[in-house]
Structure 1
Amino acid sequence: MTLLITGASGNLGRLVIDRLLARGATPSDIIAGARDPQKITDLQERGVRVARVDYDDPATVAAAMDGVDRVLLISGSEVGRRIPQHQAVIDAAVAAGVTLFAYTSVTKADTSSIPLAPEHLATEKAITASGLPAVILRNNWYTENFAPTLDQAGATGILAASVGEGRIPAASRADYADAAAAVLLSDGHAGKAYELAGDTAVDHHQIAAAMAEVLGREVVYQPLTTEQHLAALREAGLDEGTAGFVTGIDASIRTGDLEVTGHALADLTGHPTTPLIDGLRPAR
């Protein structure tokens, strides 16, 4: 069984390949796709096949897909361009006749107000329309997303956000990667959409306490209104679009868009998700 992992030069892609190998996949059965293959020569040294996969160059996607059985499409990072980029991968997978197509989406893509959701939902709909046997991996918050705020908290002792009392069930990127590897290496997932999240949802008071323990200093959560948050971000030098994007995510957290029920992530991986404090320590 041949597996293609797109976006393999990114943090998540590399971890997926690590987890595939740890779960017993044969290195030569894995194709690591990246826009710049020079960035993943270390994977080639481990026996993994390497291919150029540029979402903006459909010919490279089609060539990498030749002979592939299962695909993991790791969503592109270029907001505003994801839909046509993802469509190129979907079209190539249809032409290649892949037997399972997995996609890393976002929590509650079909109902969430989070700014990232529309492109993910459009991709999910395109996958459904393609007729591919597919599984949607709706990844929740990555603990690593807290790294910039951890740095700020270390300098100021303040964790400022406009999330109100919203709760976040974060898990480490490695947890999500392991779930993707488990899905690719087993059967029975086609037609499913998994809401993947950490075992425990926490609010920003609890996040501040965890940061305090990691940093060895007091950290206090400072709740802001959206207007106060926008003003602070502008003062920090963020452009209007980026500031609006950040506060839009916080607004979605405030209204509970990241909260999910169940333990699909732990069920897929077979182990508890990484506790918040353990996920924060490497970012210190």
Structure 2
Amino acid sequence: MSIVVTAATGQLGRLVIDELLARVPADQIAAVVRDADKAADIAAKNVELRIADYEDPETLKSAFSADDVVLLISGSEFGRRTVQHQNVIDAVTAAGVARLAYTSVLGAPVAEYRLADEQHKPTEQAILDSGLTYTILRNGWYTDNYTAQIPLQLAHGVTAAAGEGRIGSATRRDYAAAAAVVLTTEGHENKAYELSGDTAWTFTEYAAELSRQSGTEVAYNDVPVEALAGMFTGAGMPAEQAEVFAETDLAVKRGHFQGGSGDLSRLIGRPTTPLAESIAAALRASNPA
């Protein structure tokens, strides 16, 4: 039996591998990757590489073995996620894996926006229909996605269409730690976890904290969702994808990303990373001494 992490060279996948290595021997871990060269650093940690592609069912047939515990990290290719996820579900079902964990989105069963409706809800249903033993990890938003934009935010302000909606974000490493716990311990069979940060924040509060720490006055520009979608397309994003991503801000406005279940901090056995700490780390990274 192995603990198998798909999409292991992605930002979340690499962190999950690191968190697993802190918990179990490397020879118990396998990483599913498309390109072995891009995973050379993972192989150097004595983690087994299994070469497969979400788009190629034939390659997936040899990626999993009976009794594996598998983490399906959701794909990143817009418009293809549902098909790709089904390919993996079919492969792990045929292999007879012990359990499948999946990174869904916060509040997926009741979510009212296209990113959940068109991609995560169908995958969750496919997992239920498969008869597999499962664990659903409904991840909230990643703080890192916002703090990665700090250089632009310092120059142009924070722009969103979320009003004063609250975001219970946590760092990718927080979510990766939760995945590692679920993959290496018992008691998570046929459960779904609503994962979010301990304290939710608004973009007004985010801009104020960034202003305080940076010494630069940062405004929050609350714009109509159509304007936000236009900004995304102006940056080169395909129109349909831009509309879907902008619409998630309306979901924030309606409270879908506030979280508050406490599942994440309970799983990882510590508080989630505070927003102020994430902003401080991003500022240090963008302005190394």
After alignment, is 50-59 or 242-251 more displaced? 242-251
Aligned counterparts, 1:246-265, within 5 A: 246-265=245-264
For the 8 Å contact 1:208–1:219, the answer to whether it is kept is: yes
TM-score, scaled relative to structure 1: 0.93
Cα deviation, residue 228, structure 1: 4.3
Output the CA distance in 2 between the equivalents of 1:115 and 1:10. 23
| Change over 3 Å in CA distance of 1:184–1:232 after alignment to 2 | closer
Cα deviation, residue 232, structure 1: 5.0
For the 8 Å contact 1:107–1:138, the answer to whether it is kept is: yes
For the 8 Å contact 2:161–2:246, the answer to whether it is kept is: yes
SS of the residue corresponding to residue 63 of structure 1 reads coil
For the 8 Å contact 2:99–2:135, the answer to whether it is kept is: yes
Q: Which residue of 2 aligns with 1:154?
A: 154
* 1:191-229: CA deviation from partner (whole Å, max 9, x where unpaired): 111000000000111111222234331112122233444
1:267 matches 2:263: no
Aligned counterparts, 1:31-42, within 5 A: 31-42=30-41
Q: Which residue of 1 aligns with 2:137?
A: 137
- Unaligned 5+ segments in structure 2 are none
After alignment, is 36-45 or 136-145 more displaced? 36-45
1:216 matches 2:225: no
Q: Which residue of 2 aligns with 1:125?
A: 125
After alignment, is 205-214 or 167-176 more displaced? 205-214
Aligned counterparts, 1:177-196, within 5 A: 177-196=176-195
| Amino acid in structure 1 at the alignment position of 2:143 | T
Cα deviation, residue 245, structure 1: 2.6
Aligned counterparts, 1:1-284, within 5 A: 1-23=1-23, 25-118=24-117, 119-147=119-147, 149-156=149-156, 158-230=157-229, 240-283=239-282, 284=286
Cα deviation, residue 264, structure 1: 0.2
SS of the residue corresponding to residue 110 of structure 1 reads helix
Output the CA distance in 1 between the equivalents of 2:94 and 2:179. 23
Output the CA distance in 2 between the equivalents of 1:238 and 1:35. 24
Cα deviation, residue 181, structure 1: 0.2
SS of the residue corresponding to residue 250 of structure 2 reads helix
Output the CA distance in 1 between the equivalents of 2:202 and 2:87. 39
After alignment, is 61-70 or 249-258 more displaced? 61-70
TM-score, scaled relative to structure 2: 0.92
Output the CA distance in 2 between the equivalents of 1:265 and 1:2. 24
Aligned residue-pair number: 282
Output the CA distance in 2 between the equivalents of 1:236 and 1:14. 27
Cα deviation, residue 53, structure 1: 2.0
| Change over 3 Å in CA distance of 1:235–1:182 after alignment to 2 | closer
SS of the residue corresponding to residue 87 of structure 1 reads helix
Output the CA distance in 1 between the equivalents of 2:107 and 2:173. 21
For the 8 Å contact 1:41–1:50, the answer to whether it is kept is: no
Output the CA distance in 1 between the equivalents of 2:175 and 2:200. 16
Output the CA distance in 1 between the equivalents of 2:4 and 2:232. 39
After alignment, is 230-239 or 64-73 more displaced? 230-239
Question: Identity of aligned pairs, percent?
Answer: 44
Cα deviation, residue 275, structure 1: 0.7
Output the CA distance in 2 between the equivalents of 1:239 and 1:7. 23
- Unaligned 5+ segments in structure 1 are none
Output the CA distance in 2 between the equivalents of 1:130 and 1:215. 50
Cα deviation, residue 133, structure 1: 0.3
Runs of 4+ in 1 over 4 A off after TM superposition: 230-239
